[in-house]
Structure 1
Amino acid sequence: MSELNYLYGAPLSKADFKTTAEDFMVDEELGIEFTGSGEHVCLQVVKKGENTQYVAKLIAQKAGVSPRDVSYAGMKDRHGVCSQWFSVKVPIKKHIDFTELNSESVFVVSQQRHERKLRTGCHKGNRFTITLRNVTEPLDILCRINAVRAGVPNYFGEQRFGRDGHNLVMAEKMFAGERIRDKKLRGIIISAARSHVFNQIVSLRVAEHGLAKTMHREVFMLSGSNAFFEDAISDENIARLASGDIMMSAPMVGKSEKGLTEQEKTWLAPYQAWCDGLGELGLKNERRMLRLIPQDLSVETLDERTLKLSFGLPKGCFATALLRELVDYTDASPRERKEKDNADEDSIK
């Protein structure tokens, strides 16, 4: 993400991020009222140093089903302490005590019956608590906090693109005609390619217009919805933007140019090969909000070189998109965990 434009200029401070698992804590906010009955068991799990697929596999083994039969609202980072929800289909008359899975790295907080399984993206958002260590310029971070409260570019985080951007290398090969038979890996690569194009468009807009300035014509998204419409800037639309009823957006390119403004078509021109490759896949044109506004952003000074940040983000948004506007951070995840990640990734190439 280092090549993407900053909204508030490159930060002066440097810091270490994820020095320990407890330095990156995520609490998934589901926002669903469980029925208390039904064939699906919903599990709230806190995991430490494990990825989402690993926990799903444990749940599947305990329930005696395939890992494909375990669903979850969202993926969570391995390098942290993360609370998230899973669901698995279990016959109504069968009781399984999933707390028997508890270990040093996995803890089942609760299990409840529900009439439907959890689907990807069904959660409201995530709450983050991040500790930054070895901070070189804490005052610069503290000065930036108020600006960042107004919003940052809604970039996809680097984890979307794989280690050293490997998913984007694979995308180029796929668009050049190389077949990828693994459906799951293919989906990851397509998502990475689409996210990459989105990031480039947002970065160009930040450089030329920032995020506060509206263009003559905008494609607006309805808040809380994926619906969008193109319209000229008017007093009515400005009022709706101010109230949060609508949001400015950027394209997630699909099979046609429908829904793109003329300015967006110009920005997309250097990435035409990527757009053509995505278009040939028949993807539906979609939009993603342009500005990411953190909820209840706060900062606590633990000592002269350690800061703790707390904030909420809507689902599908990346904490690193906010973090990069505050500090030039270094991922300090322990080496042995990085090597484990690399081995996991090598196994699916």
Structure 2
Amino acid sequence: MTQSKEGKARWRLDWPTSSGIRPASALLKASPEDFRVTEYLGPEFEGAQAGDKGAGEHLCVRLEKTGDNTEYVASELAILADTKTFEVGFCGLKDRHAVTVQWFSLYRPGMESEDAELLSAIARRWPVLAHRRHARKLRRGEHEHNGFELVLREVSGDRSQIDAALNLLAERGAPNYFGPQRFGLAGGNLDKAVTLDPTRLNRKRGGRRGGGGRASKNVLYFSAARSWLFNEVLAERVSAGNWFAQLPGEPSENGESTGPLWGDGGTQATGEQEKLERSVIARHPEFERLFSSTRMKPERRALVTQPIQLRWDWVEDNTLRLHFLLPPGQYATTVLGDLFELQDMSLSRDNK
């Protein structure tokens, strides 16, 4: 972390790329239709489109939305269903500036006879693509994949170099950085994290709604700090050229390279890898203290994000369409940002 002339903290929010350069630039999200995301929960839920209506206390609906973020839709569904916000489940947060398809669950035990009326009310707000009953609430990260169909416009760069870089991306993947949106505008969530009292994160959240907005914000800021430290360790590995290979001391069972999601006790790595990770974290004592008093268990995260079934085609000389799948918790913007200097056009729409 460095300090500006005004004393305001500035955070690194752009990390080294796998090749050291980005061979091209492009416009991202010129319109919501240029960024399409489809959530896949697996055969059980996909079968709902073929007439499988399931059974259980939760009514699950698959919606298409444009211009609304996931949490807003969840809160509106709670109003329509006359239920509590925490009784609405979903598997992941989806971008507002996109056309997104995802599932939501609504806790409605013994109310099957009223499903048709509720579905009709929901359909007046968002297209309902499928629905089914299910025994459990949908929870974060339970989906199998997110499918992306993205259009990049005003692509500038040598097409042969771009195609070669995309072929390498399909073969090797990209560094699995957390996306900059996790850290807030200009790293604002990290500024907040520095001021947190780590002991407050151990307190049980009271009330049926889970403790209110302040507790949720604190968890958000804490998570941002943890993610930023992961990115800093990954950047060290990318700079050393060994981010895609497992090194001695990495606690990985399947042979993949991993980095630390810092917690109480620091890292699960040992030996030279532990020394590397601790040396990087030690450069940021303002965050290191956050984990000294919490009970957050150290975890690991893959250093490589591997797009599945990646394919692309040039619609025009400077327009590129891409299709791929990613596991939960991995970012399409991270994948593209390893190759392209991206100008996110949705940010300018937000500032209007």
Per the TM superposition, whether the score is higher than 0.5 is yes
SS at match of 2:137: coil
Query: Which of 84, 93, 98 is 2:119 aligned to?
Result: 98
Question: Aligned partners of 1:33, 1:108: CA distance in 2, in Å?
Answer: 17
Q: Which amino acid aligns with 2:155?
A: V
Gap change, CA 1:48 and 1:33, over 3 Å in 2: same
SS at match of 1:134: strand
Question: Aligned partners of 1:18, 1:48: CA distance in 2, in Å?
Answer: 12
Q: Does 2:283 correspond to 1:283?
A: no
SS at match of 1:186: helix
Question: Aligned partners of 1:58, 1:258: CA distance in 2, in Å?
Answer: 40
Structure 1 match to 2:165: 144
Structure 2 match to 1:59: 77
SS at match of 1:283: coil
Gap change, CA 1:71 and 1:138, over 3 Å in 2: farther
| Equivalence map 1:1-349=2 (5 Å) | 3-31=14-42, 33=44, 36-93=54-111, 94-96=113-115, 97-103=118-124, 106-137=126-157, 139=159, 140-149=161-170, 150-174=172-196, 182-220=214-252, 222=253, 245-260=254-269, 261-333=274-346, 335-336=348-349, 338-339=350-351
Gap change, CA 1:42 and 1:181, over 3 Å in 2: closer
Q: Is the 8 A contact 1:219 1:250 kept in 2?
A: no
Gap change, CA 1:323 and 1:77, over 3 Å in 2: same
The one-character-per-residue Cα deviations of 1:212-257 (angstroms, maximum 9, x if unpaired) are 444333221x4xxxxxxxxxxxxxxxxxxxxxx4312100000103
- In the TM superposition, what is the alpha-carbon distance from 1:53 to its structure 2 partner? 1.3
Q: Is the 8 A contact 1:254 1:285 kept in 2?
A: yes
- In the TM superposition, what is the alpha-carbon distance from 1:31 to its structure 2 partner? 1.5
Relative to structure 2, which stretch is displaced further, 26-35 or 120-129? Answer: 26-35
Query: Structure 1: 5+ residue runs without aligned partners?
Result: 223-244, 341-349
Relative to structure 2, which stretch is displaced further, 298-307 or 143-152? Answer: 143-152
TM value normalised by structure 1: 0.84
Question: Aligned partners of 1:91, 1:12: CA distance in 2, in Å?
Answer: 54
Question: Aligned partners of 2:200, 2:323: CA distance in 1, in Å?
Answer: 43
% identity of equivalent residues: 33
- In the TM superposition, what is the alpha-carbon distance from 1:99 to its structure 2 partner? 3.6
Question: Aligned partners of 2:158, 2:109: CA distance in 1, in Å?
Answer: 54
Q: Is the 8 A contact 1:254 1:275 kept in 2?
A: no
Q: Which amino acid aligns with 1:41?
A: L
Q: Which amino acid aligns with 2:54?
A: G
SS at match of 1:133: strand
Question: Aligned partners of 2:88, 2:338: CA distance in 1, in Å?
Answer: 36
Q: Which amino acid aligns with 1:311?
A: F
Q: Is the 8 A contact 1:25 1:80 kept in 2?
A: yes
- In the TM superposition, what is the alpha-carbon distance from 1:298 to its structure 2 partner? 0.8
- In the TM superposition, what is the alpha-carbon distance from 1:181 to its structure 2 partner? 7.0
The one-character-per-residue Cα deviations of 1:175-224 (angstroms, maximum 9, x if unpaired) are 5999997111111111111000000000011101332444333221x4xx
Runs of 4+ in 1 over 6 A off after TM superposition: 176-181
TM value normalised by structure 2: 0.83
Question: Aligned partners of 2:158, 2:319: CA distance in 1, in Å?
Answer: 8
Q: Is the 8 A contact 1:46 1:82 kept in 2?
A: yes
Q: Is the 8 A contact 2:13 2:180 kept in 1?
A: no
Q: Is the 8 A contact 1:19 1:334 kept in 2?
A: no
- In the TM superposition, what is the alpha-carbon distance from 1:54 to its structure 2 partner? 1.5
Gap change, CA 1:177 and 1:286, over 3 Å in 2: closer
The one-character-per-residue Cα deviations of 1:59-111 (angstroms, maximum 9, x if unpaired) are 111110122211101110101001111101113244233242235x7222111
Query: Structure 2: 5+ residue runs without aligned partners?
Result: 1-11, 46-52, 202-211
- In the TM superposition, what is the alpha-carbon distance from 1:162 to its structure 2 partner? 1.4
Q: Is the 8 A contact 1:153 1:291 kept in 2?
A: yes
